[in-house]
C-alpha cells in the first residue's frame, strides 16, 4: 500500500494557491491508484504500459502549460512543476513520458507550429490519443547537438530525410516524432515525422538498467518523404530545440524533488521501524544525520523550484537559472537515493522498497536533458561570459 507523505518543513504549501493544492492532490491520488501498485512489476519486466498514455491524457498531465484552446491545461508553471513532482514520485520513467509529450512535443508544435499543425496534433497529444517523441541526440552527437548529421533535401513537393537519432524516449511507441535535422545550408529545422511514413523505423533499445518502465529507442530515416507542411515554420537554428529543453529541464527540476521525497519518506519510516542493537536504527546519530541532511536538501530544492516557477510565470526565468535547478535537484535526489539505500540496508536493494529503482532511474535523469557537467558549463558561461564547451 502506498502511504507516501510529502515534505513541507518550511510551510511552502502556504505559498501555493488553492488550485495548486487541488491539482497536486488529484495527481497524488492518480499516482497512488494508477502507478504505485504496478510500477515495480513494470520496471522489473522492463514493460512500458501503453495504456497509461490515455490515463495521463484524462488526468490532464500532458501539456498542462499549453493553452486550453488546443486541449492543454492552461495552467501556470507552478502547477506544471507540481504535476511533474507527483508523477516522478511514482517513477522517473513515467515522468519522462509526460515531459517528452508536454515540453518536447506539444511545446514546439504550439510555439513554432502553423495553425494547421496546432489544430491537427495538439488536441490529440493532450488527450493521449497520440504519443510523441523528440529526436535531437544522435549516436555521435549527444552533448553537442549542433554537430548533428541528420539532414533533409528540398525535393520540390516534399523533403527527403536521412539520418538517425539515438536514445529517444517513447520512440518505439510514438505516433509522431519531432525531428531536428539540417537543411542543405546546414540550418537546423524541426520536422514532424509520422509513424507509417516509408523508410521511417524506431528500433527499441533493450537491456537498460534505468528507466525500465519507459521505452527508449532509435529513430532511423532512410529516404523518408516528409510533406512540406510538416516543417515547423516558426523557428529554426539550435535555439529552437534548446527552447524546448528549457521547458523540459524546468519540469525535471521539480520531478527530481518527487523522487527525493519518496526516498526520504521510505528511509524515515524504515529507520523508525527497523530494530538493531535493541533500538530503532533511527535512534543512532549517524542515521539521524542522514535524515536531517535529506530534509535540509529537499527543503532547499523546494524553495529553488518554487522561486524558479514564479520567474517562469513572469517570463523571466533564464536558461542558466533552469540549468542551476536541474543540476542541483537531480544531484540532490541521487545523493538522497544513495543515502536512503544505506538506511534500508540489504532491503534497500530489493523491489520491496522504491529506493533502488529511483536510484537507477536518476542515473539517466542526471545525464539526459544536458548532463550534470554540461549544466555546470552553462553556469560557467553565464558567470564568466566564456563558453568552455569547445
Ligand atoms: P550555442 O552556440 O550556445 O547556441 C546556439 C544557438 O542557440 C541559442 N541558444 C538558445 N536559444 C534559446 N534558448 C536557449 N536555451 C538557448 N541556448 C542557446 C544561442 O543564442 C545560439 O543562437 P544563434 O542565433 O547565435 O545561433 O550552442 P552550442 O552548440 O555551443 O551548445 C551549447 C550547449 C552545449 C549548452 C547545448 O548544446 C546543450 O545544451 N547541450 C546539451 C544537449 C542536451 O541537453 N540534449 C538533450 C536531448 S533531449 C533529451 O535528453 C530528452 S530526455 C527526455 C525525458 O525522457 O525526460
Ligand atoms: P556525451 O555527450 O558523449 O557525454 C559523455 C560524457 O562527456 C558526459 O559526462 C559529459 O558531461 C562529458 N562531456 C561532453 N562534452 C563535454 C564538454 N564539452 N566538457 C566537459 N565534459 C563533457 N535525447 C533526445 O534527443 N531525446 C530523448 O527523448 C532522449 N531520451 C533519453 C532517454 C534516456 C534513458 C537517456 C539515457 C538519454 C536520452 N536522450 C535523449 C539523450 C541524452 O540527452 C544524452 O544522453 C545526453 O545529452 C548526453 O549525451 P551522450 O549520452 O552522447 O553523452
Three-class SS of 143-202: CCHHHCCCEEEECCCEEEEEEEEEEEECHHHCCEEEEEEECCCCCEEEEEEECCCCCEEC
Q: Following DSSP, what letter does each residue of 198-217 receive, concatenated?
A: TTEE-PBPP--SSSTTS-EE
Q: Is 238 in the pocket of ligand 1 (CB under 6 A)?
A: yes
Separation CA 307–CA 304 (nearest Å): 5
Place of cell 537546423: 188
Q: Does 320 contact ligand 1 (Cβ within 6 A)?
A: no
pLDDT, one tens digit for every residue, the chain (390 residues) = 788 989 999 999 999 999 999 999 999 999 999 999 999 999 999 999 999 999 999 999 999 999 999 999 999 999 999 999 999 999 999 999 999 999 999 999 999 999 999 999 999 999 999 999 999 999 999 999 999 999 999 999 999 999 999 999 999 999 999 999 999 999 999 999 999 999 999 999 999 999 999 999 999 999 999 999 999 999 999 999 999 999 999 999 999 999 999 999 999 999 999 999 999 999 999 999 999 999 999 999 999 999 999 999 999 999 999 999 999 999 999 999 999 999 999 999 999 999 999 999 999 999 999 999 999 999 999 999 999 998
Residue nearest to atom 45 of ligand 2 (CA): 368
**Cα separation, 29 vs 62, whole angstroms:** 17
Site residues for ligand 2, CB cut-off 6 Å? 100, 133-137, 142-143, 167-169, 211, 216, 364, 367-369, 371, 373-374, 377, 389
Mutate to test the pocket of ligand 1, among 87, 100, 188, 242 (most ligand atoms within 8 A of CB): 242
Our CA angle for 107, 300, 16, nearest 5°, is 60
Residue 173 CA to ligand 1 centre (angstroms) = 26
Q: What is the ipTM of this complex?
A: 0.98
What is the Å distance from ligand 2's center to 380 Cα?
18
Catalytic center residues? 369
Q: Does any ligand 1 atom lie closer than 6 A to the CB of residue 237?
A: yes
Q: What is the pTM of this model?
A: 0.98
Amino acid at each position: 500500500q502506498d502511504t507516501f507523505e510529502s515534505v513541507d518543513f518550511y510551510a511552502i504549501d502556504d505559498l501555493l494557491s488553492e488550485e495548486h493544492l487541488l491539482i497536486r492532490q488529484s495527481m497524488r491520488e492518480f499516482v497512488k491508484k494508477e502507478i504505485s501498485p504496478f510500477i515495480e512489476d513494470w520496471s522489473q519486466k522492463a514493460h512500458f504500459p501503453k495504456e497509461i498514455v490515455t490515463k495521463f491524457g484524462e488526468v490532464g498531465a500532458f501539456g498542462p502549460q499549453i493553452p486550453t484552446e488546443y486541449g492543454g491545461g492552461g495552467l501556470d508553471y507552478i502547477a506544471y512543476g507540481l504535476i511533474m513532482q507527483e508523477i516522478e514520485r511514482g517513477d522517473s520513467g513515467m515522468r519522462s513520458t509526460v515531459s517528452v509529450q508536454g515540453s518536447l512535443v506539444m511545446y514546439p508544435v504550439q510555439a513554432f507550429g502553423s495553425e494547421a499543425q496546432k489544430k491537427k496534433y495538439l488536441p490529440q497529444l493532450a488527450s493521449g490519443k497520440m504519443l510523441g517523441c523528440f529526436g535531437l541526440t544522435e549516436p555521435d552527437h549527444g552533448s553537442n547537438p549542433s554537430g548533428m548529421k541528420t539532414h533533409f533535401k528540398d525535393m520540390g513537393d516534399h523533403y527527403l530525410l536521412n539520418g538517425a537519432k539515438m536514445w529517444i524516449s517513447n520512440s518505439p511507441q510514438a505516433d509522431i516524432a519531432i525531428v531536428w535535422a539540417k537543411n542543405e545550408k546546414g540550418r537546423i529545422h524541426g520536422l514532424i515525422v509520422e509513424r507509417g511514413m516509408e523508410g521511417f523505423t524506431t528500433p527499441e533499445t533493450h537491456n537498460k538498467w534505468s528507466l525500465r518502465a519507459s521505452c527508449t529507442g532509435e529513430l532511423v530515416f532512410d529516404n523518408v518523404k516528409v510533406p512540406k507542411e510538416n516543417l515547423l515554420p516558426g523557428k529554426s537554428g539550435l535555439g529552437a530545440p534548446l527552447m524546448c529543453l528549457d521547458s523540459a529541464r524546468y519540469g525535471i527540476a521539480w520531478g527530481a524533488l518527487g523522487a527525493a521525497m519518496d526516498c526520504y519518506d521510505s528511509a524515515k519510516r524504515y529507520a523508525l521501524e527497523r530494530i538493531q542493537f535493541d533500538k530503532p536504527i533511527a535512534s543512532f546519530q549517524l542515521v539521524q544525520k542522514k535524515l536531517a541532511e535529506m530534509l535540509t536538501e529537499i527543503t532547499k530544492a523546494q524553495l529553488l523550484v518554487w522561486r524558479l516557477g514564479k520567474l517562469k510565470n513572469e517570463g523571466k526565468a533564464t536558461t542558466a537559472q533552469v540549468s542551476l535547478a536541474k543540476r542541483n535537484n537531480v544531484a540532490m535526489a541521487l545523493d538522497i537515493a544513495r543515502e536512503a539505500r544505506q538506511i534500508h540496508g540489504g532491503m534497500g536493494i530489493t523491489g520491496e522498497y522504491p529506493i533502488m529503482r529511483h536510484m537507477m532511474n536518476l542515473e539517466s535523469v542526471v545525464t539526459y536533458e544536458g548532463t550534470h557537467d554540461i549544466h555546470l558549463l552553462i553556469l560557467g558561461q553565464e558567470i564568466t561570459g566564456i563558453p568552455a564547451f569547445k
